[in-house]
Amino acid sequence: MHQVPLSEKQRILSEAKRALSPDGAFVVADYGLQTGLMRLLFRITVQALDGVQNTQANADGAIPKLLGDAGFCPVEEIEKFNSVTGTISILRAQLNR
């Protein structure tokens, strides 16, 4: 999702919520909050290739909030790890119906 505009991120999450069964969960692995050295690596790799406009929300850690805004609750970061291009977060979001 890091490569698409904010409005498309919101649309994807809304569609995921609509498509899931009432007891469903949405799991996403993507770039998450970038801090320290990871922010620098993210900037000189991902943002250099994909642009800042579409990737900044991920770098700022906005995906959990976007999941909440789309009606998912709770939203939990179940794993995160650093890569040569930045921090990857694995998020699990339950439906809040």
The domains found in the chain, sorted by start residue, are 6-95 (3.40.50.150)
Numbers of helices and strands, H then E, in the chain:
5, 3
Distance CA 50, CA 76 (A): 26
Contact by Cβ (8 Å): 23, 95: yes
What pLDDT was estimated at residue 47?
A: 98
Name the one residue in this structure whose structure tokens are 């970061």: 77
Tell me the mean pLDDT in the region 23-44.
97
Confidence of residue 22 (pLDDT cuts 50, 70, 90): confident
The 10s digit of each residue's pLDDT in 60-82 is 999 999 999 999 999 999 999 99
Mean of the per-residue pLDDT values of the chain? 95
pTM of the full structure:
0.91
Q: Is the pLDDT of residue 2 over 70?
A: yes
48's tokens: 């250099």
Burial of 51 (0-12, 13-18, 19+ CB in 10 A): exposed
